[in-house]
Structure 1
Amino acid sequence: MAAVFQYGVARALSDPNLKLAIDRTTVTAERKRAAALADYPQFAAARERGTAIKDHVVANLDHYLEEFERNATASGAKVHWAADADEACRIVLGICREAGARRVTRVKSMLGEEIGLPHALEEAGIERVETDLAEHIVQLAGETPSHIVWPALHKTREQVSALFKAAHRVPHEADTVEAMVESARRELRDRFLSAEVGISGANFLIADSGAVCVVTNEGNAELTTTPPRVHVVTAGIEKLVPSIAHAFAMLRLLVRSATGADLTQYTTFHCGPKRPGDRDGPEEFHIVLVDNGRSRMLRDGLREMLRCIRCGACMNHCVVYRQIGGHAYGGTYPGPMGAVLTPALEGVDKARDLPHACTLNGRCQEVCPVSIPLPTLLRGWRDRSWKEGLVPRGVRSGLGLWRFAAERPWLYRLGTAAAVRAMRLFRRGGWIARMPFAGAWTRYRDLPAPAGRTFMEQLRDWERGR
């Protein structure tokens, strides 16, 4: 994955449209989140409560899983257990085959992406219709999501317009957002009503009732899960909360952190299949509980990462993500949370570069609604990478030379003074566009030229003058 990440970064940094597309969404998300928190003075207390809820559930996961299964089964649901991604896909495909499904509709679900469900459905010859507007865009483009809340964040409005005109049966005429949304509505409406199976994820699983909570802003989830005869939920085992009161406590954190709203337009609780007298709803209700490495994360010191409620705030505020977008990370989950999760899911040997692609400025932890210590977890992966000998020999040698100099202050100061003065030779108007050994930086942006003297030299002069 190292080569994949490096290629993805190079590709992202050379794409003139990507930064524009990322900024349009993340800057707005950052501003709206700040405004939402300013209007919610109880946020700090809510954050502490949310963290405590998730820690309590993770510490008692076996108890709440058994309670959820018992209550979900009592409501008429069929609960399935999947140890890994392959088993989860086999279970879902088996349900689809038993239902005689030729077409399934799907609500946006990062767990579905994690287990490779879209690919599995296509390989099985089952038509997959993504009903979330952004996922619809991604599907038409033959791409994967680049953000966990806004999957098509990497696309500009102009690119989406061209895509819809090429792919939709009745394309829009005016290049407005409203016209494009209407075009997608025409394209998807009949498919909502003709699918045999609807597949969703879950934002929260309610242990004391066996209910499943799903939140969206478009209403596509209700159209996906209600008309089909069969509703299938795929959810990670860490999605549990003890009760509906706890779910609403988490929703106050999730929505404000994700979109800057007080509550999503659609918050739906599904509890079993249609009952006698119900006017609509599925005849069968299946819940697939997926481990896929989560138990291993408990054992390997990544317990705090299981608090994650998938709000996306960490990537909206990440200086790295906002330069390269989500696809460069090469895994299902991008940004800071992805840099922790991907090594856990795929192995640090395959994703070593991700924890190192971080400035460790701590912004992600500051905005996390459940206080996940992301910088600490990233440093843990770096430490493990070093101990397991995964760091390239050139990097280890370079760090050895740096350590040799750093342990000898006179040598370190001599070297930095020489380097600062040498860099002055390449300065043009306060910036360095080209310089030996700095090509990885200057290939995509100019390097700020340092001051004419080192910090220690300036400090010494200041103390003399004081």
Structure 2
Amino acid sequence: MGLSTSTKDFDTRVKESLDDAFMQKAVAKAQDDQWVKRETSRENLGNWEEWRDLGEQIRQHTLENLDFYLEQFSDNVTKNGGKVFFASTEQEATDYVKDVIRQKNAKKIVKSKSMVTTEIDLDRLLLEMDGVSVMETDLAEFILQMDDWDEPSHIVFPDIHKNREQIRLVFKEKLGYDGDNEPEHMARFAREVLREFFLDADVGITGCNFAIASSGMVNLVTNEGNADLCESIPDTQIVLMGMERIVPNMADAEVMDNLLSRSAVGQSLTSYITFSGPKLTEESDGPDDFHVVILDNKRSEALGTEFQSVLQCIRCGSCLNVCPVYRTIGGHGYGSIYPGPIGAVLSPVLGGYEQFGELPYASSLCGACTDTCPVKIPLHGLLVEHRRVMTDELKMGHGFVDKQMRFIAKATSSPFLFKQALKFGHVGLGVLGAKPSSTTENLYQYGGFISGGFGLIKGWTSVRDLPRPPKERDNFRSWYKNREQGGAAK
């Protein structure tokens, strides 16, 4: 899968998403439910804006001193008996993981949910190894795997686009499940299937919510406890983390966990908050062989640029849960494992504009994402900055859309052309006119509204009403000119 989740172009993905009525209803319901839970949990914490300020300060301070904290974390992991590998590219990261698996002669791998492992397409690469089986143990990721590795559609709720009956049919076809579609029954069945894999696993692979620089510990935040089993049962644990997922100390991790839990799932704390590392002498469980892979994969290119603040992200998915565009097209429309506003900013940083240059335009720039972000990333401002870079610095036109915008700019900057548009707009757009309903008579008093069209006009009229322009004698300029000359105001 990797960073990109689809080979289809942006317009095709969006059209398919717009035609998926179930997905839209599921996303809308999830957004509405999460709004109540999220805002309630934030209110219960108290002084939410002060917590946001503190979270922003911690993340900015860490990024500004990232080299120091990464070195400190690496030294402490090594001191505790673990191994650290810095991977510049996804190829280096996957090669290291495969080398560990070969050295261990491992056959069964269990994984907890990790955006980084999906970003580097680790599942597919491991499955290509002879005799190696991989099992995703997060319930939602497990469902997607059983459904022929279906694409995730949300950072926190990856199977949000499926209903319980669809899941039941997947379990029946792939696992022989013969029960009903009650979530509790299906979850118990999945638990029984997964427990066998946990007990037989040779290697556990996890992500990392926050790495603690001062101690070399790894902080994992989960709802199901599957990550705890991935790290405590197998003899070998491999942690994959983006280089930015680090905090200076335990106190800072506590702040981030509070922000993450409330923003991601609307809870005071998720079910399992774990701090782990290599197995200590006095401990009865945990990995004897502990590896941390710290991935760059173009993240360092954002440091010191206008896009550095996107690395503050703690992967809570809160911005997705307030975004009107995500509400309409869901996660699959973005074509990236990072959907929604954060994906529209981060995907071009990691994957480039040629592949993800459409995403910064998949936004209404309403600013809801910026307002809800627990670490105050200026997301809608960064979307505008992406557009500026593509348009002004890279001179990346957008085909016919770009030509239309240039024409509009020229027409509106020319007094003659602008006056002609006002003069003939009513007649010229009459061919696209449609009669209004009785309830909109006043709004469309000049001859209905524009229906259809082409290019930018179609993009607007397909989802919004565009009143037909008035005749020249009825427009505002004529009215104002008549008034200035002492005429009666109409």
> Scaled by the length of structure 1, what TM-score is found?
0.92
Q: Note if contact 2:55-2:256 (Cα within 8 Å) is conserved in structure 1.
A: yes
SS of alignment partner, residue 322 of structure 1: helix
**What are the ranges of 5 or more consecutive residues in structure 2 without an aligned counterpart?**
1-5, 441-447
Counterpart in 2 of 1:123?
128
Counterpart in 1 of 2:86?
81
One of 296, 308, 322 as aligned partner of 1:291: 296
Larger radius of gyration: 2
1:7 corresponds to 2:12: yes
Cα distance change of structure 1 residues 312 and 229 upon mapping to structure 2, 3 Å threshold: same
One of 90, 112, 118 as aligned partner of 1:113: 118
Deviations 1:333-365 (A, max 9, x none): 111111111111111122111111111111110
For residues 222 and 36 of structure 2, the distance between their equivalents in structure 1, rounded to whole angstroms, comes to: 21
1:225 corresponds to 2:231: yes
Q: Note if contact 2:347-2:356 (Cα within 8 Å) is conserved in structure 1.
A: yes
SS of alignment partner, residue 274 of structure 2: strand
1:450 corresponds to 2:467: yes
1:161 corresponds to 2:168: yes
Cα distance change of structure 1 residues 18 and 422 upon mapping to structure 2, 3 Å threshold: same
1:267 corresponds to 2:284: no
For residues 286 and 456 of structure 1, the distance between their equivalents in structure 2, rounded to whole angstroms, comes to: 71
Deviations 1:401-428 (A, max 9, x none): 1112322354554466557766543545
1:212 CA displacement: 0.3
One of 224, 246, 253 as aligned partner of 1:240: 246
Cα distance change of structure 1 residues 415 and 30 upon mapping to structure 2, 3 Å threshold: farther
For residues 429 and 57 of structure 2, the distance between their equivalents in structure 1, rounded to whole angstroms, comes to: 49
Identity of aligned residues (%): 37
Counterpart in 2 of 1:384?
389
1:119 CA displacement: 1.3
Bigger shift: residues 131-140 or 379-388:
379-388
1:185 corresponds to 2:187: no
1:10 CA displacement: 1.0
Counterpart in 2 of 1:436?
453
**What are the ranges of 5 or more consecutive residues in structure 1 without an aligned counterpart?**
none
Deviations 1:239-265 (A, max 9, x none): 110000000011111111111111111
Deviations 1:295-347 (A, max 9, x none): 10114421110100000011111111111111121122111111111111111
> Scaled by the length of structure 2, what TM-score is found?
0.88
1:405 corresponds to 2:405: no
Cα distance change of structure 1 residues 433 and 185 upon mapping to structure 2, 3 Å threshold: farther
Bigger shift: residues 3-12 or 64-73:
3-12
One of 339, 344, 350 as aligned partner of 1:334: 339
Residues matched between the structures, number:
461
SS of alignment partner, residue 198 of structure 2: helix
Cα distance change of structure 1 residues 441 and 353 upon mapping to structure 2, 3 Å threshold: same
Counterpart mapping for 1:283-432 below 5 A? 283-387=288-392, 388-407=394-413, 408=415, 410-411=419-420, 413-414=422-423, 424-428=433-437, 430=440
Cα distance change of structure 1 residues 137 and 426 upon mapping to structure 2, 3 Å threshold: farther
| Equivalent AA in structure 2 for residue 425 of structure 1 | A
| Equivalent AA in structure 2 for residue 287 of structure 1 | V
Counterpart in 2 of 1:206?
212
Counterpart in 2 of 1:146?
153
Bigger shift: residues 248-257 or 16-25:
16-25
1:449 CA displacement: 5.0
